[in-house]
Structure 1
Amino acid sequence: MLHKVSIAGLTMDPTSNTPIIILKSDKDDHTIPIWIGLLEATSIVSALQNIKFDRPMTHDLFKNFFDTLNIKVTKIEVCDLKDNTFYARIHLVAGDATAFDMDARPSDAIAIAVRTGAPIFVDEKVIEKSGVPAGQVEVLDESEEGKKWAEYLEKLSPDDFGKYKV
């Protein structure tokens, strides 16, 4: 089963200085944090903030390509999580109503979704593997560093996930 999600925000991992995109279920309080690259975070933020560049960025180029060939992005699906790696599919329909999908990194798929207005979905199995319902924190790493992270994550609220500026 697919769950529609929205971008709740972008934040930085304080330890690795890696951007994290936070997806939040539209129906409940499940959140899915996905660590992404700085370039992809920049692309997502620039699209969310309607920042235009003189030359097209990679995701803009894909959108222009889709528009030129009359291809519509119907949805983005974060479809799996294996060995701490998220997987996504971009679902498309060509002008003659031929439906197809493509494998993509979630960060690239989300950057394209933001540009095309396509809805973002997360498969239930991904939510089960990655999302922790509010108030339920399970500490797997009993080291001091693990306990610090568990405490940090437990205290986060949705308001803490602001959009950071690149």
Structure 2
Amino acid sequence: MIGLEVLGIRIISPEDPPVLLLQEEGGTRCLPIWIGAPEAAAIAVAIEGQQPERPMTHDLLGAVLQLLEPGEGTVVIESVDDGIYQATLHAGGHEIDARPSDLVAVAVRLGWRIECTRSLMDHVGVEVDTAPSDEVEAFRAFLDRVTPEDFDDEDNNH
């Protein structure tokens, strides 16, 4: 498994869905996942450490998980099939299937680990230059030319 850090949310244009960028720990590759606007907002709020006036759904889920299964949990992004990523929450001896964006929103709130399989990163990971200014330009160039269809898994290798 490869540990992932939330690099951020990027919006290419108002017409396109947001992209969640997860960078491998200690590495230079990123896993780009197209997500919905509400999930992007939920992740951004958590990354920025903002506390909403009233708990959002991901805050509620995080609070319930802490009550029922206190301790550490792990989000595992396992595969992509026809552009749809599959992920599982591992907590308290249980595995729960959910969308990666929802699981990342909860993991960021709880400080839980996010991982992906090595085969997934090898299959869809995007190499990023390590220099900060080059990194931004590389991602802009990548996001300008890539579409969700580029990540369709035609040969079913995960």
Which consecutive segments of 4 or more residues in structure 1 shift more than 3 A?
70-73
C-alpha RMSD of matched pairs (Å): 2.2
What is the TM-score normalised by the length of structure 2? 0.77
User: 1:82 and 2:81 equivalent?
Assistant: yes
Q: Residues 60-99 of structure 1: matches in 2 within 5 Å?
A: 60-93=59-92, 99=93
User: 1:152 and 2:141 equivalent?
Assistant: yes
Code of the residue aligned with 1:86 in structure 2: it is Y
Match of 1:117 among 111, 136, 143: 111
CA contact (8 A) 2:23 2:30 kept: yes
Which protein is richer in helix relative to its size? 2
Name which one, 1 or 2, has greater alpha-carbon Rg: 1
Residue 16 and residue 154 in structure 1: after superposition, are their counterparts in 2 closer, same or farther (change >3 A)? closer
Give 3-state SS (helix, strand or coil) of 1:72's partner.
coil
Aligned twin of 1:128:
122
Deviation, 1:134, is 4.3
Structure 2: runs of 5+ lacking an equivalent: 130-139, 146-158
Give CA-to-partner distance per residue, 1:120-141, whole Å, 9 cap, x none: 1011121122113348xxxxxx
Deviation, 1:91, is 0.6
CA contact (8 A) 2:12 2:144 kept: no
Q: Number of matched residues?
A: 135
CA distance in 1, matches of 2:14, 2:53: 34
Code of the residue aligned with 1:28 in structure 2: it is G
